[in-house]
A and B are shown apart, each in its own frame.
Chain A
Amino acid sequence: MSEARGLLRFTPWVISLAWISIYNCAAAETPPDPLRRVLALYDGRFSAAPDETAIHEFLEFPANHLGLQLVYHDVATGLPEPFAPGGIRYVATWFDEAVPNPEAYSAWVRREMESGRRFAVFSEQGADLGGEAGAEEMLRMLGGRYHGYVDATHTTLVAEAHSEWSNFETGLDPTLPPYPIIETEGEVIPLLTLSRGDRTSTVAFVGPSGSFVASGYEQRVVPETEASVWFSAWFIDPFAVLEAAFDLPLRPIPDTTTVSGRRIFFSHVDGDGWNNLSRVPSEDGRPRLSAEVLLTEILLPFSDLPVSIGLVGGDVDPACTSDDEAETLARQIFQLDHVEVAAHGYTHPFKWEQFDDVPDPPDPVPTFQEGARHTPSEGVGALTRSWLAGTASADQMADCLELDPHAPRAFSHVPFDLELEIKGALDVATSLAPPGKPAKLFLWTGDARPFEAALRMAREAGVLNMNGGDSRFDAWHPSITNLSPLARTVGQERQIYAPNSNEAAYTDLWQRDHFGQLQLLDTVRRTEFPRRLKPYNLYYHTYSAERRAGLAALRTLLEEARSGDYIAIRASEYAAIANDFFRVRVEPLEENLWQVSDRGRLQTVRFDGADDLVPDLARSRGVLGARQINGSLYIALDAEVPTALVALSEQPVDGLVMLEQASWQVRGLQRHDCGFELTAEGFGDGEMTWTNVPWESLSLLATRNGRTLWTGTVAVQGGEITFELPIKAIEPVRILATCPAGEE
């Protein structure tokens, strides 16, 4: 690294205290990467927290996809610090109306634009055009001049819409929303121009300092009521508009969907319904608990696919069970190599907010809080009602369970205690696992909206956390507006969202259509093409094993994972990848050369629009290989090289093999004159494809701790070699590929 770059890296950035606190949060250990950060401004008078904003709901997902991470600032608490060299250079806003101090705000915006900050302005710009001083000047710096407002749009027509960046998911409604009359000036890319008589108005455009999209022209919305939205879909292309607004260059984008060139598959199970009597008896007609059915019908037949099981502590609490069947099942399940141990709460809160600010040491919390009743968000009905169907200890369990569907927790035999809820649940799960196999993940229960102290406790317990998000992108939800971003920021903590919805979302909280999760396949398809937007996450509850229809759906979904082009990883690994997305630093070094560091578990970077480029391995370091997917170049990085250099060129370097794809995670690659070697681990048989192979064949040797596991010889065809290793690699294996003698 050059001295200049070293200096750049340690430039003391002048940033606001709010940003420093965010940076310190969420296990971020490295300075924020200003090239990837976007200051997201919201008005706390209308949105109490960042996750209640339109930015979080609509903009954060596409921003994350572009490698950007949002840092929220509430303008109701004051304006952010001014831009300084090396600081955050991008700003996104999405206001419903003018901010508390619009004149000062517009002056701040103008100063920031002059300093070089770029703005993506959606909806209202924060200061009323035609009203507050400076508002029109603010628009002018974006590239538009304000000339008034049109409320009655029945005589307005669409004059011109950008051929690529508009009509993204939907066209406009025949009734156009009211709009400002804006004349663009200077170098502006119009996205949508309307006309009324001989007057035109460009209501969406990208200009010299960023982008502007007038309210109602970002998305087409179908309202549910005056205050709520039933459906929304993007009219403009948010990916393209954000790229253009921020003038983003070709860059390696930290990617959370892909490992070793393959799309990630992972699965996790919330333990709800562990003790439910399944409607699927054993072959000899013996009634079985859902946990047993899960074990025998799903976990054992699909032992080549990892799954993380989140046990609910209450389900194995001796105070609630008169026999040890539930505990025995937990032990049997956690003993399986492909099962990762996780916890899903102790008393399973349904609405976390209700348990915030509980005094420490914990006081008893009444089972029902006055005025705080709510609708449970997942299968509490199934959980409780099925218990009454009868098992050996049903009566005893019924005493522990809350049978009222509006209860705040599933179990109410102990007072709410945050430490018991999180650390206690993790300890219980760990205690039922084999030695050396601790719980690795905490899976949020109920509404999956934990408060800051809960998130902190999970982090301090040394585990990652996940759940929430409720992403769907299918025939019923045909828009990426239904896809959640990677995470939710709560104070100084971070919650990782599950990438997909669970069966409760498809079955009306497990009340009907128990095969409904088959619709997940639609989401899986739509989030793969034309962009790979999410991994494939199979997320369900133990109560799916209550019914044949649920089991049939799971088998189909697991077969897709088994037969498709996926790499199966553990849920905690995905959570780590998503969490490390916020740590990764990308620094441009010279043309088509970047340094990628602080990656943690995230080992894939993506170049969009790079379908004519390949890695330049002569200038790169720590690059395993690359694969073109949907016009993007996915680069697999070597976890054993902490600071990778990624260089691109138009031609591959002769003689340096590249990993195209593998069903196992690959690291420690060493390229030799006559072959290569690597370490790999994963689930199922190991399939790999390597390209740019200069030899005619390769002899393969797979070993673990010096012991030979498998050998074979594979022919190279057209510089490409594909092979399958029929061995288990949950424990890492070393693979040596050697060319025939004389081919060095």
Chain B
Amino acid sequence: MWKAVLVIGLAAFGAGAALVAVPSRQGYAELLLLDDDIEAAILSARSEPAEGPPTHRRNFLDYQLAAAMGDITGAATALEALPASALVDSHRIAFAHATGAPETWLDLQLRQDVVTHSAYQRQEVASLLRRAGRYEDERAYLARLAEAGSLDADLALRLAWLELAAGETRAALVRLADLDDAGQLTDRQGRVTLASLLIEAGQGTQADARVARWDAGSPERAMRATVENFFASEIADGRNIWK
């Protein structure tokens, strides 16, 4: 008897499990989409009309189907109805890219944790902010990267320029000096600017040492003359800029 009960129980469990394992029409459509079988996915989704209030899952499927159909308005509406999440945001970013919405693309990127940004992504976001003339946002983004320890050398130089333009001379000087100390300040304008900032800050001796190092590594040995040219009027007034 107990064996029969066990068999019936197992059979019932198996049938239940099988029912659970068989995907719904919606789940089937999702699988078909994963398989890039758009036509079958559309047919499957349409064969089971949506009942009740739309779920996030249903909205996400609607978004994918609309995009696959080239229905941009429908895709945007479905995407808009979804709550923010890393996955949804990644789709919003892709959608903004595909529909020619760089401002939306940027705002979504800026909403993310910068730690998750790849080196390419960091360059892309910073460049796009720069292109858009959103210099304050660019500076804030680069500062976030610096805090997170993800600031690449060229972006660090860019941050120094933005700090300088914003009047944060001290921060810019430190950043340029750090770059130089790390052997990453190879840009001529950056070097002259660093020397100039040091001299303007009364640190002519340090500027002198750096300029000597740069000239020693350069066949033209032109940095000293360039810096002295920059301070031509001060030198003409009798000031020793290297002290």
**B-contacting residues of A (Cβ < 8 Å)?**
148-154, 170-171, 173-175, 177-178, 197, 222, 224, 230-231, 233, 279-281, 474-476, 478, 506-507, 512-516, 518-519, 522, 547-553, 556
Whether the Cβ atoms of A153 and B189 lie closer than 8 Å is yes
Enumerate 7 A-B pairs (CB-CB under 8 Å) in ascending A order. A151-B226, A154-B165, A230-B127, A231-B127, A518-B70, A518-B99, A547-B70
> CB-CB < 8 A to B127: which residues of A?
222, 224, 230-231
Whether the Cβ atoms of A516 and B98 lie closer than 8 Å is yes
Q: How far is the CB of B31 from chain A (nearest CB, A)?
A: 16
Would you list the 10 A-B pairs with minimal beta carbon distance, nearest first? A552-B70, A513-B98, A174-B165, A549-B70, A175-B161, A515-B70, A151-B192, A519-B100, A475-B100, A152-B196
Whether the Cβ atoms of A548 and B230 lie closer than 8 Å is no
Q: How far is the CB of B99 from chain A (nearest CB, A)?
A: 7
Do A151 and B164 contact each other (CB < 8 Å), given the known contacts A476-B100, A514-B70? no
Q: In the bound complex, how far is the Cα of B106 from the Cα of A475, in angstroms?
A: 12
Do A222 and B189 contact each other (CB < 8 Å), given the known contacts A152-B230, A474-B100, A552-B71? no
Q: How far is the CB of B187 from chain A (nearest CB, A)?
A: 9
Q: Contact check: which of A281, A475, A514 meets B102 at CB < 8 Å?
A: A475
Do A151 and B188 contact each other (CB < 8 Å), given the known contacts A175-B164, A231-B131, A279-B38? yes
Whether the Cβ atoms of A512 and B98 lie closer than 8 Å is yes
> CB-CB < 8 A to A548: which residues of B?
38, 68-70
Q: In the bound complex, how far is the Cα of B135 from the Cα of A649, in angstroms?
A: 49
Q: In the bound complex, how far is the Cα of B227 from the Cα of A149, in angstroms?
A: 11
B114 interface residue (CB < 8 Å to A): no
> CB-CB < 8 A to B110: which residues of A?
none
B72 interface residue (CB < 8 Å to A): yes
Whether the Cβ atoms of A152 and B94 lie closer than 8 Å is no
Q: Contact check: which of A178, A197, A551 meets B70 at CB < 8 Å?
A: A551
Whether the Cβ atoms of A154 and B164 lie closer than 8 Å is yes
> CB-CB < 8 A to B72: which residues of A?
515, 518
Whether the Cβ atoms of A475 and B101 lie closer than 8 Å is yes
> CB-CB < 8 A to A231: which residues of B?
127, 131
> CB-CB < 8 A to B83: which residues of A?
none
> CB-CB < 8 A to A512: which residues of B?
94, 98
> CB-CB < 8 A to A547: which residues of B?
38, 68, 70
B interface majority secondary structure: helix
B90 interface residue (CB < 8 Å to A): no
> CB-CB < 8 A to A222: which residues of B?
127, 130-131
> CB-CB < 8 A to B135: which residues of A?
174
B229 interface residue (CB < 8 Å to A): yes
Q: How far is the CB of A556 from chain B (nearest CB, A)?
A: 8
Q: In the bound complex, how far is the Cα of B195 from the Cα of A515, in angstroms?
A: 52
Whether the Cβ atoms of A152 and B192 lie closer than 8 Å is yes
Beta-carbon nearest neighbor of A170 in chain B? B133
Q: In the bound complex, how far is the Cα of B71 from the Cα of A556, in angstroms?
A: 10
Beta-carbon nearest neighbor of A389 in chain B? B36
From 198 to 243 in chain B, residues with beta carbon under 8 angstroms from any chain A beta carbon are 226, 229-230, 232-233
B79 interface residue (CB < 8 Å to A): no
Whether the Cβ atoms of A152 and B193 lie closer than 8 Å is yes
Pick the most buried of A148, A149, A230: most chain B CB atoms within 10 A of its CB. A230
Q: In the bound complex, how far is the Cα of B97 from the Cα of A475, in angstroms?
A: 10
> CB-CB < 8 A to B68: which residues of A?
514, 547-549
B151 interface residue (CB < 8 Å to A): no
> CB-CB < 8 A to B172: which residues of A?
154
B39 interface residue (CB < 8 Å to A): yes
Beta-carbon nearest neighbor of B222 in chain A? A151
Whether the Cβ atoms of B100 and A151 lie closer than 8 Å is no
Query: Chain B 124-159 against A: per-residue CB contact (8 Å), 1 yes, 0 no?
Result: 000100110101000000000000000000000000
B29 interface residue (CB < 8 Å to A): no
Q: Contact check: which of A170, A178, A224 meets B189 at CB < 8 Å?
A: A178
Q: How far is the CB of B61 from chain A (nearest CB, A)?
A: 16
Q: Assuming A222-B127, A518-B99, what are 6 further A-B pairs, CB within 8 angstroms?
A: A151-B189, A151-B230, A174-B165, A175-B164, A514-B68, A548-B70
B197 interface residue (CB < 8 Å to A): yes
B82 interface residue (CB < 8 Å to A): no
Whether the Cβ atoms of B38 and A476 lie closer than 8 Å is no
Q: In the bound complex, how far is the Cα of B130 from the Cα of A171, in angstroms?
A: 11
> CB-CB < 8 A to B98: which residues of A?
506-507, 512-513, 515-516, 519
From 55 to 76 in chain B, residues with beta carbon under 8 angstroms from any chain A beta carbon are 67-72
Q: In the bound complex, how far is the Cα of B38 from the Cα of A231, in angstroms?
A: 36
Q: In the bound complex, how far is the Cα of B164 from the Cα of A323, in angstroms?
A: 70
Q: How far is the CB of B69 from chain A (nearest CB, A)?
A: 5
Whether the Cβ atoms of A281 and B39 lie closer than 8 Å is yes
Q: How far is the CB of B92 from chain A (nearest CB, A)?
A: 13
> CB-CB < 8 A to A516: which residues of B?
98
Q: In the bound complex, how far is the Cα of B38 from the Cα of A143, in angstroms?
A: 65
Q: In the bound complex, how far is the Cα of B220 from the Cα of A462, in angstroms?
A: 57
Q: In the bound complex, how far is the Cα of B131 from the Cα of A171, in angstroms?
A: 10
> CB-CB < 8 A to A178: which residues of B?
188-189
Q: In the bound complex, how far is the Cα of B215 from the Cα of A237, in angstroms?
A: 39
Beta-carbon nearest neighbor of B160 in chain A? A175
B177 interface residue (CB < 8 Å to A): no
Q: How far is the CB of A553 from chain B (nearest CB, A)?
A: 6
Q: Contact check: which of B37, B97, B164, B192 meets A513 at CB < 8 Å?
A: B97
> CB-CB < 8 A to A230: which residues of B?
127, 131
> CB-CB < 8 A to A177: which residues of B?
189
B45 interface residue (CB < 8 Å to A): no
> CB-CB < 8 A to B165: which residues of A?
154, 174-175
> CB-CB < 8 A to B103: which residues of A?
475
Q: How far is the CB of B190 from chain A (nearest CB, A)?
A: 9
> CB-CB < 8 A to A514: which residues of B?
68, 70
B179 interface residue (CB < 8 Å to A): no
> CB-CB < 8 A to B185: which residues of A?
none
Beta-carbon nearest neighbor of A479 in chain B? B131
B162 interface residue (CB < 8 Å to A): yes
Beta-carbon nearest neighbor of A199 in chain B? B233
> CB-CB < 8 A to B100: which residues of A?
474-476, 518-519, 522
Whether the Cβ atoms of B230 and A549 lie closer than 8 Å is no
Q: How far is the CB of B170 from chain A (nearest CB, A)?
A: 13
Q: How far is the CB of A286 from chain B (nearest CB, A)?
A: 12
Q: In the bound complex, how far is the Cα of B162 from the Cα of A274, in angstroms?
A: 52
Q: Contact check: which of B69, B94, B130, B230 meets A150 at CB < 8 Å?
A: B230
Q: In the bound complex, how far is the Cα of B43 from the Cα of A548, in angstroms?
A: 14
> CB-CB < 8 A to A280: which residues of B?
39
Whether the Cβ atoms of A476 and B102 lie closer than 8 Å is yes
Beta-carbon nearest neighbor of B194 in chain A? A152
Q: In the bound complex, how far is the Cα of B154 from the Cα of A230, in angstroms?
A: 14
> CB-CB < 8 A to A478: which residues of B?
131
Whether the Cβ atoms of B189 and A152 lie closer than 8 Å is yes
> CB-CB < 8 A to B193: which residues of A?
151-154
Beta-carbon nearest neighbor of A232 in chain B? B131
Q: In the bound complex, how far is the Cα of B133 from the Cα of A512, in angstroms?
A: 29
Q: In the bound complex, how far is the Cα of B172 from the Cα of A518, in angstroms?
A: 43
> CB-CB < 8 A to B99: which residues of A?
518-519
From 158 to 190 in chain B, residues with beta carbon under 8 angstroms from any chain A beta carbon are 161-162, 164-166, 169, 172, 188-189
Q: In the bound complex, how far is the Cα of B162 from the Cα of A148, in angstroms?
A: 26
> CB-CB < 8 A to A476: which residues of B?
100, 102
